[in-house]
Amino acid sequence: MSTQADPMNTRIEGPSPAMAVAVDMAKRSLWLLPVIVVLSAAFWGVNGVASTLYALAIVVINFLLAGWLLAVTGRISAALMGAAALFGFLLRLGLIFLAVFAVKDASWVEFVPLGITLILTHLVLLFWEMRHVSASFAFPGVNPGVTPNPYLPDN
């Protein structure tokens, strides 16, 4: 008799840490919004701002889709969640390609700010989020906020 869990039948119950992290990254992207709008307006004008906002929307949707895929497939089985992580990455890269390809001939597209925003926003949000992700079983996902101990005096 084997004591190992079967990944095909093991489900992940409870709230999804992946979705919590994705939503937190979407919230953090709002802090980047004024910075990238001002920078793109200064260098590329209105078309640069439109391209930058389009790229930021792609990045946020990409992270939310990644969290959603892991949350949904984890409730079905751990093996399916692993497949969603692996093949979902390829799917999301394809969707990014299609989103850029769909607007390649539009008059408002500036490719330099679009590309810079796509690459840098992914990296900035991922590195920024690393500081806020908890790697413990007690609090998976985003670190809980600091709460004062009600039994200690305020000093």
Q: Domain residue spans in the chain?
A: 17-132
- What pLDDT sits at residue 16? 82
DSSP alpha helix (H) spans, the chain: 17-76, 78-102, 111-130
Per-residue confidence (pLDDT) for residue 140, from 0 to 100: 61
Length of the chain: 155
In the predicted model, is pLDDT for residue 117 greater than 90? yes
What is the band of 109 on the pLDDT scale with cuts at 50, 70, 90?
Answer: very high
The mean per-residue pLDDT over the stretch 87-98 comes to: 95
What is the structure's pLDDT at 17? 85
pLDDT at 139: 59
Interatomic CA distance for residues 28 and 4, integer angstroms: 39
- Residue 83 has a CB neighbour count (10 Å cut-off) of 13
In this prediction, residues 37-50 reach a mean pLDDT of: 95
Q: Report the amino acid identity of residue 96.
A: I
Residue 142 phi, psi dihedral angles, 5° rounding: -85, 140
DSSP 8-class letter at 143: P
